[in-house]
Amino acid sequence: MSSPWPSVTKTFHHSPYEAIDPRNPSLSAQGKVVIVTGGASGGGKSIATAFTIAGARAVIILGRTKETLEATTQVLSSLALSQTKKPSLIRYFVADVRDTQAIALVFQTVRQEIGAVDILVNNAGYLSTLDTTENSDIEDYWTSFEVNVKGTLNVVQAFLRFGRDKTATAKRQPTILNVSTAGVHLPCIPRYSSYAASKVAAWKLVEYVAFETAGSVRVFSIHPGSIETDMSRKANIQPLDDFALPGAFCVWLSATPEADFLHGRLVWSNWDVQELMERKPEIIREDLFTLKLSGWHD
């Protein structure tokens, strides 16, 4: 299947492939502690699954609904036990990313009971009821900003303050993977202003985090592709991609030093990683895949 959108790589993937397969020994997450917000369903579940397959020491999922978290924890635990390598520790915490104190406590608890967090996946998000800006319910509209912007700030700040190992060597730099959306750079889509605007704000926030932590934390934003999620069902969007794609892509980003040139940039899970690496000089020279005003300067 070809891409329904313009693609920066000739090959546009809809499912995982060898270079990003989490079963690939070169992409092993062995010894790593991973936290995934919104990890019980949708893209978060895809990512938590991939890190479990990659053999992470611990995969911790956060969410608001205990029943969903428990069910996904059982699935991931069974998957972990089926691996030939040492099975991952799977845990969950009930926490709302909007709750600053609750999120801080999660990271402090993980640090004390399990160890420093190596990989943070900022995935939790909210899509308000689709409507025009004129007709949107203000409280519902603003919830997108509470979750997508304040939630991102809470999670990233707690990771930087309490979760990461601030003495980590260059070979074991902690990683932030921010799940964004193509909606931040696509032309305006009718009735999506709250989601797109809040995600643009979160993207710029994460760009600042990348700037402020350069050399000590690896930071990437990704468009996860079009997979089946609660949001896609709410928006009545037909999935185009394999559920496992964003998880496999995140494992590749976190495990591959050659991906460091993508620090601070937004990339699609669908783009071919070999072609991206071949374009490294151009991407750096032209400062591609960042938020800027086109035409402002040459």
- Is the distance from CB of 66 to CB of 88 less than 8 angstroms? no
Amino acid 208: pLDDT: 99
Lookup: tokens for 109: 């608890």
Residue pointed to by tokens 């299947």: 1
Q: CA–CA separation, 266 vs 277, rounded Å? A: 14
Lookup: tokens for 285: 């020279």
Q: CA–CA separation, 273 vs 276, rounded Å? A: 5
CA atoms within 13 A on the CB side of 15: 2
Amino acid 227: pLDDT: 77
Q: CA–CA separation, 184 vs 168, rounded Å? A: 32
Q: Quick one: which of 83, 81, 48 has its CA closest to 62?
A: 48
Amino acid 224: pLDDT: 94
Lookup: tokens for 107: 């990271």
What are the backbone dihedrals phi and psi of residue 247, each rounded to the nearest 5 degrees, phi first? Answer: -65, -45
Residue 250 neighbours by CB under 8 Å, 6+ apart: 47, 50, 51, 121, 177, 222, 269
Amino acid 2: pLDDT: 64
The segments of the chain whose pLDDT lies below 50 read none
Angle at 261 between CA 255 and CA 264, to 5 degrees: 95
Amino acid 243: pLDDT: 92
Instruction: Write down the pTM of the prediction.
Output: 0.95
Question: Hey, what domains does the chain have and what are their CATH numbers?
Answer: 30-125+151-178+214-273 (3.40.50.720)
Sign of CA dihedral 103, 205, 217, 7: positive
